[in-house]
């Protein structure tokens, strides 16, 4: 099983850069980059909530489950 992170897709839809999202969510660029590339092992609900507010989306727009 795999959780796919579609953060880059939502950022592109909202025409928002990594720097811009980093400032709005108050997360370091490196941590946001780790999340964006799918290398993160976990995400706090508070972080997910902040990202969803900044991108005006739902958690399901960012995270996706795919069976392997």
- CATH classification of the domain holding 33: 1.10.260.40
Tally of domains in the chain: 1
Dihedral sign, Cα of residue 9, residue 11, residue 14, residue 15? negative
Per-residue confidence (pLDDT) for residue 68, from 0 to 100: 77
pTM (2 d.p.): 0.90
Give the residue numbers spanning the domain of 59: 2-66
Per-residue confidence (pLDDT) for residue 40, from 0 to 100: 92
pLDDT tens per residue, range 17-60: 999 999 999 999 999 999 999 899 999 999 999 999 999 999 99
Closest by CA to 3, choosing from 55, 48, 50, 46, is 48
Per-residue confidence (pLDDT) for residue 1, from 0 to 100: 57
């Amino acid at each position: 099983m795999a959780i796919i992170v579609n953060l880059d897709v939502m950022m592109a839809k909202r025409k928002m850069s990594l720097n811009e999202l980093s400032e709005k969510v108050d997360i370091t660029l490196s941590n946001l980059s780790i999340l964006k590339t799918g290398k993160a092992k976990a995400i706090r609900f508070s972080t997910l909530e902040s990202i969803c507010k900044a991108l005006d989306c739902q958690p399901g727009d960012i995270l996706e489950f795919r069976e392997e």
